[in-house]
Chain A
C-alpha cells in the first residue's frame, strides 16, 4: 500500500491545522485566567529556568512541592523551554499543552493508519479528535493529563509494534509508559495495571520473546524507581491517600453512616466501587454535561457531542462484532482505563479519563464508518435525503451550541473557579506598589461566599516576575500571634483583612473581595478600584485607609 499520497498529507495537515486553531485561538483569554495549578507549575518552571531549583530551593526536584500537595515534575519541566522562549506569560504556561494537544492529532492518525491499515479510519479518527470538545477543552490550559494521554498513546502504539515482532520498540514503549507516570496522577495506577494486563493477555507472545520482554520490564522498573522513591519518601503519596474511594462523602455519610474503618466494610465498598465504575457509562456524563464547562445543568457538554450518540453505540457493537487488529488490547484499554478514576472519591472527572481518548475516539470512528456504510447502501433516495438533512441540522445545532458554551457561558460560569481576577490584581499591584509601604491581600474570594484561596502569593510571584533567587533566600514569615492564615515576604502580606483594626493603617494597600470590607463603612476616596470578572460581579476591591 502506498501509504502517503499528497492528498493524504494535505488532508491530515488540514485536520491538524483545524485542531491547532481550535486549541490555540485566544488561548490566553479563554479559559479566562491561569488556575492555581497553572500558576504553580509556571512559577516553578521559571524558578528552575533561572536558578536550577524550584521556589523552595530544591535542585531539579522529582516532585514539586505546591500548596497543600505535590505536583508531577514533567509538566513543569516541559514549561521551562516555553518560558525561555516566550517569557513568564500566560501563553508560555499554556503553550506546551496546546502544542502537545495539537501534535496528538497527526500522531493519532499515524497510529490508526499503522494498526488498521485503512486511511478512512485514520482520517475520520483524527478528524473526530481534532474537533473533540473534550480534548480541546483540556488542551487549552496546562492540564497534565493531556500530556499523559499523549504518552499513553505512544507507549501503547510502540508496545503493539513490539508485540508484532519489531523488537526495537520495546525501549521507547517502556520510556513513554513510564514518563506518563511522571506527568499526571491518574495514570500512576493505570499504567502499571494496563502494562500488567497487556503482558498477561499476550502471554504466549511475551514468553516467546522473553528477552525483549525482560528488556521492556527492566526499562520500566529502572525508570520508575525514582517515582517509587518520591511516592514513599517525598510526600507524593499524600495526594493518593486523600483521594481514595473509601473517603468518598456519599460512601461514608450515606452508605456506611460512619467513616470506613474496618475490613468488614470492604464488601459494601466493593459494590459501591462497582456502582462508581459503571457510572462512567452514564449517558449524561458521556454526552450531555460531563465536562462541567457551565453551571450544573442537564444540558451542557459531555465527553462526546450529542450527535455522536449513534456513532458510539454502533461503535461498541462494531468493536465487539467485527474482526479488529489487537481488539483485546483496545478492550483492555477501555476496561482498565476507568479503573484509577473509579477508585477516587468525589465526582467523576472527564479530565482524569483523558488517557482513554484513543479508544473512545476509535469507538466513535468505527461507529461512524459503520453507519456511513449503511447509509450508502440505502436505496430509497428520499430516505437518504431525509437522513442527511436531519443529521446536518443536528450537527450544526450541536456544534453551534458547543461554540456558544465555550465562548459565552464557560467564562461567565467558570471564571471564578479558574481564579479569574488575580492577574488583574497583580497588574494593579505592579503599577501602584511604589506608592505603599505594605500590600495586604486577603486570600478569601467568591461571589456566593468567601472561599479560601490557598495560593494567591503565587500569582504575585508569577505576574511580578519576582526573582526566584531572591524568593528562595529571603525571609518569609508564615504565622502571626492572632492566628488565621498568614504569609509575608517582601512588602506583600497575605492574611485576613479585619477592617475594624486595619482602617487606620495609612500607606497600606488592602486588596480583598467585597467580603473583606464593610458594605457601607468605607470613607470617600478609600475605594481606589474594583476588579470585575466575566460574570459581571466585582471580585476584588483595592482599598487604602484615608
Chain B
C-alpha cells in the first residue's frame, strides 16, 4: 500500500478534542464491499449478469485502487454514500426494516464523521423528496431515527462551535481561498482607475465572480477530460487515468441514450449533488472527492456497453464495441508498464512530501 494521507480526524472526535481516525484494516473491508454494493445497486437497473459489468469496470479502474491504497477518507464516505443508496433501494423494493437500518446507520455514520456530510446528507434527502424520486413515506422512519440519534452531535456542536468551524474550514476550503476576492479587487481597481467604478461594481463583484467560478467548477467535474484522462492527477502525482479512456465511447453512447428517458435523466441530474464535495474543495477538481460520483459514470458506461453489444450486428456499433475493448486492453498494458517503470519515481519526485509515512 501507499503510505497514506495524513490521517483525517473524524468530526465527532474533533468536537470532543480527541484524535480518532480510521485504521488500516477497515479499508480492506471497504475494498471488498464497495464493488459488492455497486453490483447490488446495479441489480436494480440491469438484469441478471449484466449487473456485474459495473463492478468489473470499477475494479478495473485505477481511480478505485489508488484511492483505496492511499486510504483516502473519501473511500470511507464513498462506502457510506453507496450504503445510503443501497438502503433506499432496499426500502423501495419492499424490505423495509433492513433498508431503514442501513439508511439510518450509514447516514448517521457519515454525519458524525464529516462536517460536509452533516450538510450534504439532509440536502440529499430533501432533494429526493422534493423531486418525488423518493416519497417522504419511504423515508419517514429513517428520518425519525436520524433526527433522534443526531441529537448528541448537535449537543457537542453547541458546546464546541470552534471545532465545527475548524472542521468546516478543513472540509470546505473553497470559501477561505482569498484568490477569487483578490481577482475581484484587481479587476475593480483597474476599472476604477479608468473611471468605470459603477460598471465594475455591476459586473465585477464577488457574487458574479463566485457564480462564474462555481459554474466553471461544476462543468469541470463532468468533463470527459476529468474522468477519462489524467488531466487531474490521481493522488496528485499519477499518470494513470481515473477510468480507462476506451470507456468514453460507451459512456458517450449510454449518456446520449439515457438522456432520452425523462426519469433516468432526472436521476442523473440529481446525482450531480455528489459533485458538491469536489466543487467545495480548493482544487479545480478533487478526484479524491469526485469518486463519490464515479458509480453514476460507471452505470452509464455499463448501459452504453450493453447497448453497443446488443446492436453488434450493426457495423458502426460493432466497430465502437471492438474499439472500446481494444483501447481498454491497450491502455491497461500501457498503464501497467508505466506504473511499474515510472510511477514510484514520479511519486518520490513530485508528491512524497504530501504523504505521511506509516510506521513499519
Q: A398: CB under 8 A from chain B?
A: yes
Q: With A287-B216, A299-B212 known to touch, is A282 a contact of B225 (CB < 8 Å)?
A: yes
Stretch at the interface among A111-119, A194-202, A404-412, A428-436: A404-412
Does the CB pair A275–B203 fall under 8 Å? no
Does the CB pair A397–B203 fall under 8 Å? yes
Which listed residue, A257, A295, A403, touches B346 by the CB 8 Å rule? A257
With A and B bound together, what is the CA distance between A258 and B239 in angstroms?
15
Which listed residue, A287, A299, A412, touches B209 by the CB 8 Å rule? A299
Does the CB pair B331–A404 fall under 8 Å? no
With A and B bound together, what is the CA distance between A309 and B216 in angstroms?
10
Q: B151: CB under 8 A from chain A?
A: no
Q: With A397-B203, A400-B202, A404-B187 known to touch, is A306 a contact of B212 (CB < 8 Å)?
A: yes
What per-residue 1/0 map shows which CB atoms of B46-76 lie under 8 Å from chain A?
0000000000000000000000000000000
Closest chain-A Cβ to B222's Cβ sits at a distance in Å of 9
Does the CB pair A281–B331 fall under 8 Å? no
- Residues on B with C-beta less than 8 A from A309 are 215, 219
What per-residue 1/0 map shows which CB atoms of A261-292 lie under 8 Å from chain B?
00000011001001100110111100110000
With A and B bound together, what is the CA distance between A102 and B185 in angstroms?
35
- Residues on B with C-beta less than 8 A from A256 are 342
- Residues on A with C-beta less than 8 A from B152 are none
Stretch at the interface among B13-21, B110-118, B191-199: B191-199
Number of interface residues of B (CB under 8 A): 44
Q: A255: CB under 8 A from chain B?
A: yes
Query: Helix, strand, loop or mixed for chain A's interface?
Result: helix
With A and B bound together, what is the CA distance between A306 and B203 in angstroms?
12
With A and B bound together, what is the CA distance between A281 and B231 in angstroms?
12
Does the CB pair B231–A279 fall under 8 Å? yes
Query: Helix, strand, loop or mixed for chain B's interface?
Result: helix
With A and B bound together, what is the CA distance between A295 and B182 in angstroms?
12
- Residues on B with C-beta less than 8 A from A482 are none
Q: A3: CB under 8 A from chain B?
A: no
What's the interface size class on A, roughly?
Answer: 35 or more
What per-residue 1/0 map shows which CB atoms of A119-150 lie under 8 Å from chain B?
00000000000000000000000000000000
Q: With A284-B284, A397-B202 known to touch, is A268 a contact of B231 (CB < 8 Å)?
A: no
Closest to B213 in A: A298
Does the CB pair A298–B183 fall under 8 Å? yes
Q: With A274-B245, A298-B183, A397-B202 known to touch, is A408 a contact of B193 (CB < 8 Å)?
A: yes
Does the CB pair B334–A271 fall under 8 Å? yes
Does the CB pair B225–A281 fall under 8 Å? yes
Closest to B240 in A: A271
Q: B119: CB under 8 A from chain A?
A: no
Which listed residue, B193, B213, B224, B245, touches A281 by the CB 8 Å rule? B224
What per-residue 1/0 map shows which CB atoms of B208-243 lie under 8 Å from chain A?
110011011001100111001111000000010100
Q: B269: CB under 8 A from chain A?
A: no
Q: A297: CB under 8 A from chain B?
A: yes
Does the CB pair B216–A401 fall under 8 Å? no
Closest to B194 in A: A408
Q: A254: CB under 8 A from chain B?
A: yes
Does the CB pair A400–B203 fall under 8 Å? yes
With A and B bound together, what is the CA distance between A278 and B249 in angstroms?
13
Q: B338: CB under 8 A from chain A?
A: yes
Q: With A298-B216, A408-B191, A409-B187 known to touch, is A397 a contact of B208 (CB < 8 Å)?
A: yes
Q: B149: CB under 8 A from chain A?
A: no
Q: B190: CB under 8 A from chain A?
A: yes
With A and B bound together, what is the CA distance between A254 and B345 in angstroms?
10
- Residues on B with C-beta less than 8 A from A271 are 229, 241, 245, 331, 334
Does the CB pair A278–B196 fall under 8 Å? no
What per-residue 1/0 map shows which CB atoms of A22-54 lie under 8 Å from chain B?
000000000000000000000000000000000
Interface of chain A residues 363 through 421 with chain B (CB within 8 A): 396-398, 400-401, 403-405, 407-409, 412
- Residues on A with C-beta less than 8 A from B245 are 271, 274
- Residues on B with C-beta less than 8 A from A407 are 194, 196
Does the CB pair B196–A288 fall under 8 Å? no
Closest to A321 in B: B256
Closest to B244 in A: A271
Q: B175: CB under 8 A from chain A?
A: no
- Residues on A with C-beta less than 8 A from B179 are 298
- Residues on A with C-beta less than 8 A from B171 are none
Closest chain-B Cβ to A298's Cβ sits at a distance in Å of 6
With A and B bound together, what is the CA distance between A181 and B209 in angstroms?
40
With A and B bound together, what is the CA distance between A257 and B237 in angstroms?
12
Closest chain-B Cβ to A285's Cβ sits at a distance in Å of 10
Known: A268-B334, A295-B186, A397-B208. 11 other contacts (CB 8 A): A254-B350, A255-B342, A257-B342, A267-B334, A268-B338, A278-B231, A283-B216, A284-B284, A400-B199, A405-B187, A412-B190
Chosen A-B contacts, 30 in total, with CB atoms closer than 8 Å, are: A254-B239, A254-B346, A254-B350, A268-B239, A268-B334, A268-B338, A274-B245, A275-B229, A278-B225, A278-B228, A279-B229, A279-B231, A281-B224, A298-B179, A298-B183, A298-B216, A299-B187, A299-B212, A299-B213, A398-B203, A400-B203, A401-B187, A401-B203, A403-B199, A404-B190, A404-B196, A405-B187, A408-B190, A409-B186, A412-B190
Interface residues of B (CB under 8 A from A): 179-180, 183, 186-187, 190-191, 193-194, 196, 199-200, 202-204, 208-209, 212-213, 215-216, 219-220, 223-225, 228-231, 239, 241, 245, 256, 284, 330-331, 334, 338, 342, 345-346, 349-350
Query: Which 3 pairs show the lowest CB-CB distances between chains A and B?
Result: A400-B203, A283-B219, A275-B229
